[in-house]
Amino acid sequence: MSQTRRLYQICAMLNEPQRPSRKDFLRRLEVSPATFKRDLAYLRDQLNAPIVFDHFAKGYKFDTKKGAGPTFQLPGLWFTEEEAAALANFHTLLSKLDRSGLLASHIDPLLTRIDALLSSGNVTSKELRKRIKVLDTRVRKIKHSKFPEVGFALLHRRRLNIKYFARSTGKLSDRDVSPQRLINYQSNWYLDAWCHASNAIRSFTIDGIHGVKILELKATEISEKDLDAELSSGYGIFSGKNTKTAKMRFSKVHARWVADEVWHGQQKSTIQSDGSLILEVPYSSDQELLLDIQRHGSHVEILEPAELRKKLIDELKKTNQLYKVKK
């Protein structure tokens, strides 16, 4: 651990309610008594840190009395590439959440805290966010007006009666559900729930819920293991237990990118002698998988199963008809 990080760790410990002892510092910092003594002296003498020993509590603390000493400020702490990107990403996600929703009262304090973390010496968080950009693509900008009711029922373990519009069928249905968890997937919100009408686990888009009523009935509990088995076993958000395996061959050119991609946690990929790549992924619903396959155009071929291959061929024929030159 670098000295800068040790200094931040020392200050974090000094801000804890329980006064840390010398032994606590040595154990958590994993340093020698001499190193800890030098760090403490540096904080006090060079950075004007008002650190005192509380004889009553037998530990160290910041002296918060008025006039305890000159203004104390730690030197800037620069983050690793992964840490800086993660904080900037998190800041972007929070800033784009609906401020009228369930998390409204918590968003601004979190953004303020992240701003403070991102600040490094003379480099402000504003400057960092100017230099680190997180771009959203293919995002539906929708007001999730039913989010507060869904969130309340989810946290208080109550059933919901929802009016749900399914884009795939264009139909509006009425059903009672027991909410289990909220999922943010590709910048859209989904509710995983036990559907009492179909007596099965289902995933609903929040923007597809057109009407909602919180019921007095207690929500049925489904284990996380069962939820994952049903909703995470196949490819994409539209998953299910009954999975098949899609086998695809990517050209040498696109294999350079696909080789580093994770399509599914249980995928298998093999580079061929000619540089092409064979990718195998489990899926249950082919809806999202076919869309992602089509992004690669002529650089991918579905090898198995036959029905998935035929479905793509039929779709390509329909697409070809749209662009067929009329005589």
Instruction: Please give the Cα distance from 103 to 85 (Å, whole number).
Output: 23
Q: Is 264 exposed, middle or buried (0-12, 13-18, 19+ CB in 10 A)?
A: buried
Instruction: Please give the Cα distance from 4 to 317 (Å, whole number).
Output: 62
The second-level CATH assignment, the architecture, of 244-322 is 2-Layer Sandwich (3.30)
At residue 157, does pLDDT exceed 60?
A: yes
What percent of the chain is modeled with pLDDT above 70?
A: 71
At residue 242, does pLDDT exceed 90?
A: no
191-218 pLDDT per residue, tens: 999 999 999 888 898 888 999 999 999 9
The listed CATH number (3.40.50.2000, 1.10.10.10, 2.60.40.10, 1.20.140.10) that belongs to domain 3-62: 1.10.10.10
72-105 pLDDT per residue, tens: 666 555 555 566 666 666 666 666 655 555 555 5
* Token code pair at residue 35: 């190193």
Q: What are phi and psi of 245, to 5 degrees?
A: -120, 125
**262 within 8 A of 310, measured Cβ to Cβ:** no
* CATH entry 3.40.1190.20 includes domain 147-231: no
With CA atoms as reference, report the closest residue to 232 among 196, 276, 181, 277. 181
Please give the pLDDT value at position 129: 61
Q: What are phi and psi of 153, to 5 degrees?
A: -65, -40
223-239: buried (b, 16+ CB within 10 Å) or exposed (e) per residue? Answer: eeeebeebbebbbbbbb
Domains 3-62 and 147-231 agree in fold? no
Domain ranges of the chain: 3-62, 81-131, 147-231, 244-322
Query: How much is the CA Rg of the chain, to the nearest whole Å?
Result: 27
